[in-house]
């Protein structure tokens, strides 16, 4: 299991939100590229970069994404507002290791199948969950769809990974939604990334015990709840 720092982009800054609420911003840092460079210096090999502005249709942070992807020695997984073939190709051309797709991928399975097949091992499926059901459009639209069903439907696709985010516990250090993780691990044999609520080494141990492949951490790293320099080598390389 590896640890992957999260970099969420908003208005040219690196931010962290609580509970997926754009009105509850916990962290705002002015230079996302410097943040990415710092994570690399600490030994992290992967980054999870989401353009929140693009996700909600209020602009984009394309040049920052490209600059982060251009950093050597990092596998960067990029998402936010990726809802057509051209957007997938543009991010791969910019150097992304995988492109994270969510909203359209959930609503249009034929599109997900097409882009995954056209770009094998280069597409990551994001399943954002609030109240046990999928939420889309930058966490602004709540559905009644079961994330496990979405994972099972994509089981045969040549994805890089499936990423499940428990939006309910994002940024509040309450611990991950372990029951959700159990359900998702049972639903897919794909590489599984988990985000939301991780705030202790005990949380990391619990996720490792559930056969999670990658843990995506934002707020706990930025606020010092987890000390990135204290994480053991095995957790981030």
Catalytic residue IDs: 8, 128
Q: What is the pLDDT of residues 167-180, one digit of tens each?
A: 888 766 679 999 99
Q: What is the pLDDT of residues 121-175, one digit of tens each?
A: 999 999 999 999 999 988 788 999 999 999 999 999 999 999 999 988 876 667 9
- Statement: residue 232 has pLDDT above 50: no
Buried b (16+ CB within 10 A) or exposed e, 58-93: eebbeebbbbbbeeeebebbbbbbbbeeebbebbbe
- Statement: residue 236 has pLDDT above 80: no
DSSP secondary structure code for residue 213 in this structure: S
Query: Rounded mean pLDDT of 52-72?
Result: 95
How many beta carbons lie within 10 A of that of residue 112, not counting itself?
22
Q: Can you read off the two tokens belonging to residue 220?
A: 């706990």
Query: Rounded mean pLDDT of 114-127?
Result: 98
Place of tokens 């609503």: 107
Task: For Cα atoms 86, 92, 95, give the angle at the middle one, nearest 5 degrees.
Answer: 145
Question: What was the pLDDT predicted at 235?
Answer: 59
Question: What was the pLDDT predicted at 233?
Answer: 55
In contact, 215 and 2? CB cutoff 8 Å: yes
Tell me what percent of the residues of the chain surpass a pLDDT of 90.
Answer: 83
DSSP string for residues in 32-60: HHHHHHHHHHTT--EEEEEEHHHHTTS--
Place of tokens 């991010």: 91
Query: Rounded mean pLDDT of 189-215?
Result: 96
- Statement: residue 66 has pLDDT above 80: yes
- Statement: residue 237 has pLDDT above 80: no
Place of tokens 């010092």: 224
Query: Rounded mean pLDDT of 16-42?
Result: 91
Which of 206, 205, 153 minimizes the C-alpha distance to 180? 206
In contact, 133 and 122? CB cutoff 8 Å: no
Query: What's the predicted TM-score (pTM) here?
Result: 0.93
Cα–Cα dist 16/8, whole Å: 6
Query: Rounded mean pLDDT of 67-72?
Result: 98
Question: What was the pLDDT predicted at 121?
Answer: 98
Check residues 234 and 226 and name the one with the higher pLDDT: 226
Cα–Cα dist 7/1, whole Å: 19
What does the mean pLDDT of the chain come to?
93
Cα–Cα dist 177/182, whole Å: 9
Question: What was the pLDDT predicted at 18?
Answer: 81
Which of 21, 43, 16, 54 minimizes the C-alpha distance to 32? 16
């Amino acid at each position: 299991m590896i640890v992957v720092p999260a970099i969420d982009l908003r208005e040219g800054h690196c931010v962290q939100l609580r509970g997926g609420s754009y009105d509850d911003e916990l962290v705002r840092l002015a230079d996302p590229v410097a943040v990415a460079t710092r994570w690399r210096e600490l030994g992290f090999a992967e980054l999870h970069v989401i353009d929140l502005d693009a996700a909600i249709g209020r602009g984009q942070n394309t040049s920052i994404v490209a600059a982060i992807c251009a950093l050597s020695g990092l596998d960067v997984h990029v998402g936010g507002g990726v809802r057509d073939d051209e957007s997938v190709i543009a991010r791969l051309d910019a150097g992304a290791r995988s492109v994270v797709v969510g909203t359209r991928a959930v609503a249009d399975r034929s599109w997900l199948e097409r882009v995954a097949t056209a770009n094998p091992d280069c597409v990551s499926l994001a399943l954002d969950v609030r109240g046990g059901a999928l939420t889309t459009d930058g966490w602004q639209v709540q559905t009644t769809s079961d994330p496990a069903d979405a994972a099972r439907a994509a089981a045969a696709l040549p994805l890089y990974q499936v990423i499940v985010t428990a939006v309910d516990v994002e940024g509040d250090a309450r611990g991950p939604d372990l029951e959700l993780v159990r359900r998702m691990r049972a639903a897919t044999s794909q590489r599984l990334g988990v985000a939301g609520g991780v705030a202790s080494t005990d949380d990391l141990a619990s996720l490792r015990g559930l056969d999670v492949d990658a843990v995506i951490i934002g707020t706990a790293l930025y606020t010092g709840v987890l000390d990135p320099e204290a994480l053991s080598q095995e957790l981030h390389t």
